[in-house]
Amino acid sequence: MLQKVLRYDVQITKKFVELALKTTALRSLRNHAKFLEISCHGIVWLASWLTFIWLFNNKELYQLQVNMLIALILDIIVVAVVKAFVRRRRPIPMNKLLAVGPDKYSFPSGHASRAVMVVFILSYLYPVSIIFLPPLFAWACAVSISRVLLERHYILDVIGGVGIGLLEGLVMCLIWLSQSTSASLLSTLSDEKLDGGEYHV
């Protein structure tokens, strides 16, 4: 039964990509797929977020900074464990040049899970201004669709990634750290930035 579902997934994904290349809007999205891939890459997000924490030493941001960092680490670990367990091979692209990538396993889509998790946090756990929500949702949708258009994932991989992203958001609801706890944690990790710290001059 599982093998049949996977075969259907391969067939539907292939047809979707072929039809997408004939549709102006989706063909345009594919042209920007590489940028979308970088915009939601795990290493890029982790490095950028650590830089953000270091550069913006603002008490108002401590809670978001710490909890998002925990969420990003959680996402990387969960996706890596699931990929290692499932071990589903990535699609073979029509353009073989697209086959080069950081890993060879397909399920789930880490980009989709990360995008959904980030949107969940910024829309529910740490709500940003409502004017930022439409671009955030559009970005998450574009990232998810682009993974199929770029032939890096099958459709079920992306659906699985979206589901994992939602579950990670729910987990963050349970472990969400308070402002005071986040401030204490950051002060411990960045002692040299505080008066009286070990490296303070």
Q: Which tokens sit at 57?
A: 């030493």
Q: CA-CA distance, 146 to 154, in Å (whole number)? A: 11
**Whether the Cβ atoms of residue 109 and residue 160 lie closer than 8 Å to each other:** yes
DSSP-derived 3-state class of residue 89: strand
Query: How far from chain centre, in Å, is Cα 73?
Result: 11
Task: Report the distance separating Cα 14 and Cα 48, nearest Å.
Answer: 34
Q: Any idea which residue has 């201004």 for tokens?
A: 129
105 by DSSP, 3-state: which?
strand
- Please, which residues bridge with residue 54 across strands? none
Distance CA 137, CA 123 (A): 9
Is residue 32 part of the annotated active site? The answer reads: no
DSSP state for residue 98 in the 8-state scheme: G
Of the candidates 32, 41, 111, 200, the residue annotated as catalytic is 111
The answer to whether 111 is a known catalytic residue is yes
Which residues are known to be catalytic? 111, 153
